[in-house]
Structure 1
């Protein structure tokens, strides 16, 4: 990883950490988030996965539009560090611990690899 990519990655991690800490305070079952990307196709390949405690918590968050609020917050933080994406909905997905356990036996790496941009 060259110096420019490393700096971009660190900025991205810091921005997403700020989003994560804010969203945890909303008390909608949000637990954590992560991202994957290929820097040879950045930001087009950027995929951010927001993880909720359960399927029902995720459904409730979507019902009360916390998912939209989360996407807006992510987009705002990305813009602060100079990352522009065409359609934030294509770069942020919602998931749950429960779904990962059921479909991938709790193997988040395997699950995220399927969604890698």
Structure 2
């Protein structure tokens, strides 16, 4: 990995770690998050996957509009490290451990390809 790409990835990780720690305190079933990116097409290729315990947690997230709040949190932390995305809704998806277990036998590497 080139030095500039490594630095960019470290900034993404730093921003998302802060967002993750904040979201864990919200009591909305949020468990963890991860990201994927093709840095030759960055930031357009950045995809953040927010993982919840159950499918119902994801449903409740959108019904309570906490999905907007979580996207704003992620966007805010990315901006603090100099990363600007045009439409945060295109860069954040929500998933559950329950769905991954049911559809991919808990294999997140396989599942994240489809998110």
When normalised by structure 2's length, the TM-score is 0.97
Distance in structure 1 (CA, Å) of the matches to 2:63 and 2:114: 26
Alignment-derived partner of residue 94 in structure 2: 94
How many residues are matched?
115
Shift of 1:58: 1.1
Alignment-derived partner of residue 74 in structure 1: 74
Runs of 5+ consecutive residues of structure 2 not aligned to the other structure:
none
Shift of 1:114: 2.2
- Segments ≥4 residues shifted beyond 2 Å: none
Alignment-derived partner of residue 5 in structure 1: 5
Secondary structure at 1:114's aligned position in 2? coil
Shift of 1:74: 0.5
When normalised by structure 1's length, the TM-score is 0.96
Alignment-derived partner of residue 113 in structure 2: 113
Shift of 1:9: 0.6
Aligned alpha-carbon RMSD (Å):
0.7
Alignment-derived partner of residue 57 in structure 2: 57
Runs of 5+ consecutive residues of structure 1 not aligned to the other structure:
none
